[in-house]
């Protein structure tokens, strides 16, 4: 039987590659099963949108942003006089109102702020709550919702000190629901329904409660430069004792490391939401426009650890 060893060797040569293929296939299948088990245990993360606006102001009004948790923002807001004031006033450069403010990020969703404005020596304070955050991934949220509540107190002398004046008459309040969305890397937009309450108004015909609808946008033209604009439509027949216009502001944001410079033109002299909405007496078409700028600087007070 000389053929038997030849047959056996031929069989072994044929079966060995088959066995090797089966072992390799089984090993790959086991690896796939293990990866599937790992992927089942891993939950998809939440990717929150950041930097919808570069700082806490679109131009002069509030944006949807807060300082990061543990960060203190020091903000200088400066308005020159009206451009149409003429050469004698150097087209407004000889006049100025200034607000010095600080803002602090308490948590990822809560920010606080306070400031002093030279216009009527006004103190103001506010809080901002990020109720919703735009996100993708496990939690899909198409927009950011920030709630703003602020108060302002002017401290100039009473125009008629002989009458009985109340401290509460110096106070006014502002409330906003800021709805924002970042459309890609370049463009962001927000809507801001705004309610203002003024305790003491000039006449009985002026409204204590004032409503406005704001809108603002940002378009990046480079990684560190953007063009911004905002408009607050003032609903008619609410302020009758003085000229009242809707506020429109536009400007440029320039980021330089820890600073953000905002250079703007606006028809609003005020630097808090109550003044912006209820005390805008400038008319763009008459050249009653104010040149101004914001300078913001961020300081880290508490290094980020575990913020809720």
Q: Closest Cα partner for 53 from 251, 196, 300, 204?
A: 251
Whether residue 219 is contained in a domain is answered as: yes
* Reported pTM: 0.80
6-24 pLDDT per residue, tens = 444 544 554 545 444 444 4
**Structure confidence at residue 241 (pLDDT):** 87
pLDDT under 50: residue ranges of the chain? 1-4, 6-8, 10-11, 14, 16, 18-26, 28, 34, 307-308
Whether residue 306 is contained in a domain is answered as: no
Whether residue 270 is contained in a domain is answered as: yes
Let me know whether 18 and 94 are in one domain.
no
Let me know whether 11 and 146 are in one domain.
no
Which CATH number fits the domain that encloses residue 152?
A: 2.40.160.40
**Structure confidence at residue 293 (pLDDT):** 92
Let me know whether 32 and 157 are in one domain.
no
Q: Please tell me the distance from the alpha carbon of residue 288 to that of residue 271, in angstroms, as a whole number.
A: 16
**Structure confidence at residue 249 (pLDDT):** 96
Let me know whether 63 and 169 are in one domain.
yes
Tokens 């378009």 belong to 219
Whether residue 307 is contained in a domain is answered as: no
Whether residue 308 is contained in a domain is answered as: no
CA 151 to chain centre: 19
CB atoms within 10 A of CB 275: 26
Residue-wise DSSP of 218-246: EEEEETTEEEEEEEEEEPSSS--SS----
Range of the domain at 248: 49-300
Whether residue 26 is contained in a domain is answered as: yes
**Structure confidence at residue 44 (pLDDT):** 72
Q: Closest Cα partner for 144 from 106, 111, 191?
A: 191
Domain count, the chain: 2
168-205 pLDDT per residue, tens = 889 999 999 999 999 988 999 999 999 999 999 888 89
Contact (CB, 8 A) for 245 and 267: yes
Residue-wise DSSP of 144-185: EEEEEEEEEEE-SPPS-TTS---GGGGEEEEEEEEEEEEETT
Let me know whether 116 and 163 are in one domain.
yes
Let me know whether 53 and 37 are in one domain.
no
As a whole number, the mean pLDDT across the chain is: 84
Contact (CB, 8 A) for 178 and 64: yes
Whether residue 263 is contained in a domain is answered as: yes
Let me know whether 37 and 59 are in one domain.
no
**Structure confidence at residue 2 (pLDDT):** 46
Whether residue 154 is contained in a domain is answered as: yes
Let me know whether 100 and 27 are in one domain.
no
**Structure confidence at residue 129 (pLDDT):** 95
Let me know whether 38 and 53 are in one domain.
no
Let me know whether 175 and 272 are in one domain.
yes
Let me know whether 37 and 54 are in one domain.
no
Rg for the chain, CA atoms, rounded: 31
Let me know whether 128 and 31 are in one domain.
no
């Amino acid at each position: 039987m000389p053929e038997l060893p030849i047959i056996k060797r031929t069989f072994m040569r044929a079966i060995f590659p088959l066995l090797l293929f089966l072992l390799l296939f089984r090993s790959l299948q086991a690896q796939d099963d293990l990866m599937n088990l790992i992927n089942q245990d891993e939950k998809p993360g939440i990717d929150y949108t950041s930097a919808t606006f570069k700082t806490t102001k679109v131009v002069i009004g509030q944006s949807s942003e807060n300082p990061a948790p543990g960060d203190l923002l020091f903000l200088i807001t400066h308005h020159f006089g009206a451009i149409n004031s003429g050469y004698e006033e150097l087209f407004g450069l000889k006049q100025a109102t200034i607000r010095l403010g600080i803002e602090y990020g308490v948590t990822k969703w809560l920010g606080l702020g306070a400031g002093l404005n030279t216009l009527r020596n006004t103190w103001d304070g506010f809080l901002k709550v990020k109720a919703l955050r735009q996100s993708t991934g496990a939690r899909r949220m198409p927009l950011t919702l920030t709630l703003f509540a602020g108060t302002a107190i002017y401290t100039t002398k009473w125009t008629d000190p002989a009458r009985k004046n109340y401290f509460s008459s110096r106070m006014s309040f502002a409330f906003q629901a800021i709805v924002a969305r970042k459309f890609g890397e370049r463009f962001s937009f927000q809507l801001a329904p705004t309610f203002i309450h003024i305790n003491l108004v000039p006449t009985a015909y002026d409204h204590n409660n004032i409503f406005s609808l704001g809108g603002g946008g940002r378009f990046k033209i480079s990684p560190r430069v953007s063009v911004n604009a905002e408009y607050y439509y003032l609903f008619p027949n609410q302020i009758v004792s003085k000229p009242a216009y809707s506020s429109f502001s536009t400007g440029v944001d320039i980021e330089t490391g820890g600073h953000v410079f905002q250079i703007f033109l606006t028809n609003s002299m005020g630097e808090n939401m109550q003044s912006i909405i209820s005390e805008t007496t400038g008319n763009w078409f008459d050249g009653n426009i104010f040149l101004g700028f914001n300078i913001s600087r961020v300081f880290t007070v508490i290094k980020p650890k575990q913020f809720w």
